[in-house]
Amino acid sequence: MDKDKINTLINELDSQESFDYLLETMNKSKKIDFLHHWLHENLLTRHEARKYTDQSDNGIRQSILNHLLIPFFSKGEKQGKVRLFLKKDAIQYGKEKRQNVPRKPES
């Protein structure tokens, strides 16, 4: 399927019901493996995101609380809350964070 056909399909998805049907159809046809691959390659846990942001556990928690790094998906509450981040967002945030770190003056 070429990209124009995919874009047309995406533009025609105008309801949750349509999207649910698309995913159910993918699942029945075993095409869900493509989605699993994409999720595996593009979503990160908080611990995995730390590698791209070069932050401690407390540092990344603070970034999340301050809405500097925003989860792509979040579910649950308190200790059981699951947050998943897009890899591209973690990479971008890590680059921006390093650019904005104040440097100590040279002595």
Q: How far apart are CA 84 and CA 45, in angstroms?
A: 5
Summarised one tens digit per residue, pLDDT across range 52-88 is 999 999 999 999 999 999 999 999 998 899 999 999 9
- Give the angle subtended at the CA of 35 by the CAs of 50 and 29, to the nearest 5°: 160
Beta carbons within 10 angstroms of residue 55's beta carbon: 20
DSSP, collapsed to helix, strand or coil, labels residue 52 as helix
Burial class (CB in 10 A: 0-12, 13-18, 19+), 22: middle
pTM: 0.79
Q: Which two tokens stand for residue 12?
A: 């025609």
Strand-pairing partners, residue 83, are: 74
